[in-house]
Chains A and B, each alone.
Chain A
């Protein structure tokens, strides 16, 4: 168990990185608290797996340091770092039984047989594998195999961190949920630092206490699921998290007042006059827009019923504005007006949240 500190970390797969596009992971510093459940979330190629492999030691960083507690582990092998990892495709030792698979990491480290037996049985119980310890691992289904890979991390009582690299990719949809709750439950029980890499926001938001959102090799925001939802630090986070994503609309700043095509818009936090440069945008989630008798005039384009609410797509000039209308409330027909909730309307300059 350890606190993980990433200090000015940067990585490139090229021998001589030149421009910013050569860096798979742009410079970042971050501290991950001991015993926390973290998720690295982002689209394919955003650098999340690179970051994961840097922490596990499968890659050496081009620049910067990684500390476990206060010890610099940047130059250490994965084995020396004492970590565990569950891969996207289940990795099991085909010729061994489930028991031997779980015992493998302990035996490699010369743990006495009695202790091995105790730990393996304990972990087997924890993962509901107890009744099949004698079976050949190759005969199990994908979720069983994935449990074994997880179990090989859990048997070692001293691992610093357990990492998951999109572990549910090959699991059947109805079992994904089961395995996810199992993970959450395990985290509560053993309080080990866990890092979960995924491109699926549901997986990230349900598993993690804190989510690290990444895009184009850089960390865009670190926060709790609620923070990501209510105060996206970047329009990318607004888009990527939430379904449907945040509305991003052009706006003008005039002496600290925010305008949307001539309409004054109230926002959370004041805007300084000096900040009126760059590409200015408004961001507001569909959840925080409602129909009103006055406000921004819109035309209704279409409405989709998704159960407990309806997603209504409206249009002001060329700009689409989506909003959610709870079940039971009417959707006006013809021209209408919408109003943004000031507390949840944010201003972005060049994509980044102002204030």
Chain B
């Protein structure tokens, strides 16, 4: 659509700019401020340059948290995107079941994140939780409060439970917007179910899949509440992801300098990776 040049439009965006600037710029300046100073309490600050950044970037603690974070995000993307796509593809397109599916599938998205954590906490409890008891009765040694592997398993399963529906809803929206003529033409051309998926559905879903992957990437990279409530980052530090580590450092230990430096690095990583994802996913469209 052709858009008219109109500088007065700034008046229309001014409230948003003011509100978001108040919330984003002032706190961000605070963080930048902390990140380059050292304090010994009593509001005494000293210039410390890039010391904190060096300290964070060289610390094993940050490396470990970052590695865990990347591993976690990679795993849940690899599970949630294909799973969401499969569920969306097999959902009915019309009839009374559509509403039932949409409402029940959207439900996990509307549950407060700490309730999600608490729910999985009691669901997975080894002796009295349905899942914990169920797995143990199958002869598996399952105890997510003690074993790092089962803790990871539970956290990943919880995230899949919590967020796959978002991918489903997005893909479903993309699928129902494909005109019926495409399927009819494919039938006439003798296309197999796989060809229909490969040459019609997948190309038409590219846009919504980009949105889905970007949203899931950003949100999983910022995950905090659910994991804190479920495992508290443990056992040990095995499920301490970046946000959890950051909050431990800032609110727990009041190491404001390193925490602030880490915040900025963290934010930049998300921005950089989102930009990379976006560029790669939309690269072909320009051609």
Q: A-side interface residues toward B, CB under 8 Å?
A: 56, 58, 77-79, 83-85, 87-89, 91, 93-96, 104-105, 108-109, 136, 149, 152-153
Question: In the complex where A89-B179, A95-B203, A96-B199 touch, is A58 in contact with B184 (Cβ < 8 A)?
Answer: yes
B16 / chain A contacts, CB cutoff of 8 Å: none
Do A56 and B199 have beta carbons less than 8 Å apart? no
Counting chain B residues whose Cβ lies within 8 A of the other chain, the interface size class is 10 to 19
Any chain A CB within 8 A of the CB of B187?
A: yes
Any chain A CB within 8 A of the CB of B264?
A: no
Any chain A CB within 8 A of the CB of B200?
A: yes
Do B185 and A91 have beta carbons less than 8 Å apart? yes
Complex: A91 Cα to B190 Cα, angstroms? 14
B287 / chain A contacts, CB cutoff of 8 Å: 136
Q: Shortest distance in angstroms between B187's beta carbon and chain A's nearest beta carbon?
A: 5
Q: Contacting B191 at CB < 8 Å: which of A58, A83, A95, A104?
A: A104
Question: In the complex where A93-B200, A95-B199 touch, is A105 in contact with B189 (Cβ < 8 A)?
Answer: yes
Q: List 30 A-B contacts (CB under 8 A).
A: A56-B188, A58-B184, A77-B187, A78-B187, A85-B185, A87-B184, A87-B185, A88-B181, A89-B179, A89-B181, A91-B181, A91-B184, A91-B185, A93-B199, A93-B200, A94-B203, A95-B199, A95-B203, A104-B189, A104-B191, A104-B195, A105-B189, A108-B189, A108-B190, A108-B192, A109-B190, A136-B287, A149-B185, A152-B185, A152-B189
Complex: A136 Cα to B285 Cα, angstroms? 12
Do A79 and B195 have beta carbons less than 8 Å apart? no
Do A108 and B191 have beta carbons less than 8 Å apart? yes
* Shortest beta-carbon contacts, A-B, top 10: A108-B190, A91-B185, A105-B189, A87-B181, A93-B199, A79-B190, A78-B188, A95-B203, A94-B203, A78-B187
B278 / chain A contacts, CB cutoff of 8 Å: none
Tell me the total A-B contact number using a CB cutoff of 8 A: 53
Q: Residue of A at shortest CB range from B204?
A: A94
Q: Residue of A at shortest CB range from B195?
A: A108
A91 / chain B contacts, CB cutoff of 8 Å: 179, 181-182, 184-185
B182 / chain A contacts, CB cutoff of 8 Å: 91
Q: Shortest distance in angstroms between B195's beta carbon and chain A's nearest beta carbon?
A: 7
B189 / chain A contacts, CB cutoff of 8 Å: 104-105, 108, 152
B184 / chain A contacts, CB cutoff of 8 Å: 56, 58, 78, 85, 87, 91
Max chain B CB contacts within 10 Å: which of A89, A96, A104, A136? A104
Beyond known contacts A79-B190, A83-B188: 4 more, CB 8 A cutoff:
A78-B188, A108-B191, A149-B185, A153-B188
Q: Residue of B at shortest CB range from A86?
A: B185
B188 / chain A contacts, CB cutoff of 8 Å: 56, 78-79, 83-85, 105, 153
B185 / chain A contacts, CB cutoff of 8 Å: 85, 87, 91, 149, 152
Complex: A152 Cα to B188 Cα, angstroms? 10
Interface string of B161-204 (1 = CB under 8 A from A): 00000000000000000010110110111111001000110011
Complex: A171 Cα to B204 Cα, angstroms? 23
A85 / chain B contacts, CB cutoff of 8 Å: 184-185, 188
B191 / chain A contacts, CB cutoff of 8 Å: 104, 108
Q: Residue of A at shortest CB range from B187?
A: A78
A78 / chain B contacts, CB cutoff of 8 Å: 184, 187-188
Complex: A56 Cα to B181 Cα, angstroms? 13
B192 / chain A contacts, CB cutoff of 8 Å: 108
A88 / chain B contacts, CB cutoff of 8 Å: 181
Complex: A95 Cα to B192 Cα, angstroms? 17
Complex: A56 Cα to B200 Cα, angstroms? 21
Complex: A109 Cα to B182 Cα, angstroms? 18
Q: Shortest distance in angstroms between B158's beta carbon and chain A's nearest beta carbon?
A: 36
Q: Residue of A at shortest CB range from B287?
A: A136
Complex: A79 Cα to B186 Cα, angstroms? 9
Max chain A CB contacts within 10 Å: which of B182, B188, B203? B188
Q: Shortest distance in angstroms between A229's beta carbon and chain B's nearest beta carbon?
A: 33
Complex: A95 Cα to B284 Cα, angstroms? 10
Complex: A250 Cα to B204 Cα, angstroms? 57
Q: Shortest distance in angstroms between B182's beta carbon and chain A's nearest beta carbon?
A: 5
Q: Shortest distance in angstroms between B6's beta carbon and chain A's nearest beta carbon?
A: 32
Max chain B CB contacts within 10 Å: which of A89, A91, A152, A153? A91
Q: Shortest distance in angstroms between B176's beta carbon and chain A's nearest beta carbon?
A: 16
Q: Residue of B at shortest CB range from A104?
A: B189
Complex: A96 Cα to B203 Cα, angstroms? 10
Complex: A235 Cα to B33 Cα, angstroms? 86
Q: Shortest distance in angstroms between B216's beta carbon and chain A's nearest beta carbon?
A: 24
